[in-house]
Amino acid sequence: MNTQAKPSRWKFVLALLALGALGAVLIQGANAGWRNDDLREDPPSEYPDRVILTCTSDPSISQAITWRTDASVRQAYVEITPADPSPDFDENAVEIRAETVRFETDRRVDHYHSVNLAGLEPGTLYAFRVGGGDRWSEWFQFRTASPGPEPFSFIYLGDAQNEVLSHWSRAIRAAYADAPDARFMIHAGDLVTDGFCDRLWGEWFEAGGWIYAMMPSIPTPGNHEYDKDKKGATLTPHWRTQFTLPENGVEGLKEQCYYVDYQGVRVISLNSNERIEEQARWLDAVLSNNPNRWTVMTFHHPIFSSSRGRDNEDLRRSWKPLFDRHRVDLALQGHDHTYARGRNLPADGDAQDPGGGTMYVVSVSGPKMYDLTGDRWMDRAGQDIQLYQVISVTPDTLRYRAMTVTGDLYDAFDLVKREGAVNVLIDRAPSEIAERTSPAPATGG
């Protein structure tokens, strides 16, 4: 057990005073000065904002772009061209008209614009901007995927959810600083704490800023993107308005249940909030006809829970047999606001099974934290710790790193592919870093 006590805040303030920081103020409580009802409005203007790239089903030849303006902008465009080091690169840009949809918030009407670019050249760096007339965004760049297996890396982020701008921003920014050449980001649900609140989505977009327009996202919906009442569960209308995602999933769950093929990896998003059995039938077909060597799943509610008093037996009953049968390599999950990873797990989760092989990971990138469960199905676990993950893939090896937002390695492993057999696991968790299995105690004050 790692106690890793936080330095006394009183000692910290006294140290600042000793250095001449006479204006130092001790803030009591992690959330001091930040409340939901203090959130400022985030209205759009005639200029584009909330620009985001999202993955298509074939990112080697296509790219989706979405952005927002106020309702006065009725026609919007993307200008795109192969990137070039010359400042005259934009002279040959092609203009493509966007699809525009009306979106009503509780206070106003916004317009969202999207373009699904097709016919791009694989493995090519493109520059683009969005807007129209004399109101344009800056120029951004993205690279299309290669048509076949090639090494690449991607970022995985667990729940952002709370205090997204003030606290979660350091997670996405640290991840980008660590892996600026990552090809996409997976967001494992609960991107905000109230998916129906436009102001909170404004926080999410501000926290990531221009990163979203340079590195495509693969989001999967969490329970906080839903509103549940006696009539059932309703996905926030923000989801399909501000994300342009593949529509190759279960009918009625388009852009929530989908897959992306990227340089030898099939990434599959499932919606763990509803219609579990329907998705299982779809998933069986998608896994049966998978030409890629690696398979990565992402969904919000964990197959094996890492927090006390939480279990998702219906998911485990419906989806885990398919993971085992089709030798899914990695499942990236959220929801439990702790960190855990383990593999070769039977349905009851009590012991490891050499006939299994899927590595299950639960992680959290935002500041909301829960207690770890007492049963230890995990090979590595953590509590009260904000993390991001960088995953690198070659045709033969998947390398995984879990990093703290302060830049320290917390967990790592390799999976080495063996055809027709369970992957070889090489555990690279740093032995000098103890597991953080209890909250760091507050001292002083």
Residue 440 has pLDDT above 70, yes or no: no
The reported pLDDT for the residue numbered 39 is 52
The reported pLDDT for the residue numbered 5 is 43
Task: For residues 229 and 361, state if they share a domain.
Answer: yes
d(CA 17, CA 437): 34
Q: What mean pLDDT is predicted for residues 207-216? A: 98
The domain total for the chain is 3
Summarised one tens digit per residue, pLDDT across range 228-277 is 765 668 999 999 999 999 999 999 999 999 999 999 999 999 999 999 99
d(CA 223, CA 439): 25
Cβ atoms within 10 Å of 8's Cβ, excluding its own: 14
| Position 445 in a domain | no
Residue 78 has pLDDT above 50, yes or no: yes
Summarised one tens digit per residue, pLDDT across range 91-112 is 999 999 999 999 998 789 999 9
The reported pLDDT for the residue numbered 35 is 35
**For residue 67, which phi and psi values (nearest 5 degrees)?**
-155, 175
The reported pLDDT for the residue numbered 22 is 42
Q: Which residues have CB under 8 Å from 165's CB, separation 6+? A: 203, 204, 206, 207
Task: For residues 170 and 119, state if they share a domain.
Answer: no
CATH number of the domain encompassing residue 131: 2.60.40.380
Going by C-alpha positions, the residue among 386, 380, 390 that lies closest to residue 425 is 380
The reported pLDDT for the residue numbered 107 is 84
CATH number of the domain encompassing residue 357: 3.60.21.10
Strands 359-362 and 330-333: parallel
Going by C-alpha positions, the residue among 434, 417, 414 that lies closest to residue 425 is 414
Summarised one tens digit per residue, pLDDT across range 336-380 is 999 999 987 765 555 555 556 899 999 999 999 999 987 778 899
| Position 290 in a domain | yes
| Position 2 in a domain | no
Task: For residues 178 and 131, state if they share a domain.
Answer: no
Last residue of a domain, one of 143, 163, 186: 143
pTM, full prediction:
0.91
Summarised one tens digit per residue, pLDDT across range 130-160 is 999 999 999 999 999 999 999 999 999 999 9
Where in the sequence is the domain holding 95, given as residue range(s)?
49-143
| Position 128 in a domain | yes
Summarised one tens digit per residue, pLDDT across range 44-63 is 999 999 999 999 999 999 99
Task: For residues 271 and 395, state if they share a domain.
Answer: yes
Q: What mean pLDDT is predicted for residues 168-174? A: 98
| Position 439 in a domain | no
| pLDDT interval class at 24 (50, 70, 90) | very low
Mean pLDDT of the chain: 89
Greater model confidence, 364 or 33: 364
Going by C-alpha positions, the residue among 221, 156, 162, 210 that lies closest to residue 183 is 156
Last residue of a domain, one of 143, 177, 193: 143
The reported pLDDT for the residue numbered 26 is 35
| pLDDT interval class at 308 (50, 70, 90) | confident
Map the chain to HEC letters. CCCCCCCCHHHHHHHHHHCCCCCCCCCCCCCCCCCHHHCCCCCCCCCCEEEEEECCCCCCCCEEEEEEEECCCCCCEEEEEECCCCCCHHHHCEEEECEEEEEECCCCEEEEEEEEECCCCCCCEEEEEEEECCEECCCEEEECCCCCCCCEEEEEECECCCCHHHHHHHHHHHHHHHCCCCCCEEECCCCCCCCCCHHHHHHHHHHHHHHHHCCCEEECCCHHHEEEECCEEEECCHHHHHCCCCCCCCCCCCCCCEEEEECCEEEEECCCCCCHHHHHHHHHHHHHCCCCCEEEEECCCCCCCCECCCCCHHHHHHHHHHHHHCCCCEEEECCCCCEEEEECCCCCCCCCCCCCCCEEEECECCCCCCCECCCCCCCEEECCCCEEEEEEECCCEEEEEEEECCCCEEEEEEEECCCCCCCEEEECCCCCCCCECCCCCCCCC
Taking the CA atoms of the chain, what radius of gyration do you get in angstroms? 22
Task: For residues 22 and 168, state if they share a domain.
Answer: no
Q: What mean pLDDT is predicted for residues 61-85? A: 97
Q: What mean pLDDT is predicted for residues 407-419? A: 95
The reported pLDDT for the residue numbered 347 is 59
The reported pLDDT for the residue numbered 20 is 44
Task: For residues 27 and 62, state if they share a domain.
Answer: no
The reported pLDDT for the residue numbered 18 is 47
Task: For residues 118 and 167, state if they share a domain.
Answer: no
Task: For residues 30 and 55, state if they share a domain.
Answer: no
Task: For residues 177 and 132, state if they share a domain.
Answer: no
| Position 444 in a domain | no
Task: For residues 107 and 194, state if they share a domain.
Answer: no
Residue 300 has pLDDT above 70, yes or no: yes
Going by C-alpha positions, the residue among 397, 330, 394, 393 that lies closest to residue 363 is 330
| Position 442 in a domain | no
Task: For residues 94 and 218, state if they share a domain.
Answer: no
Residue 80 has pLDDT above 80, yes or no: yes
The reported pLDDT for the residue numbered 2 is 43
The reported pLDDT for the residue numbered 310 is 87
160 contacts 405 by C-beta, under 8 angstroms: no
| Position 330 in a domain | yes
Task: For residues 156 and 139, state if they share a domain.
Answer: no
Q: How far apart are the first and last CA of the chain?
A: 24
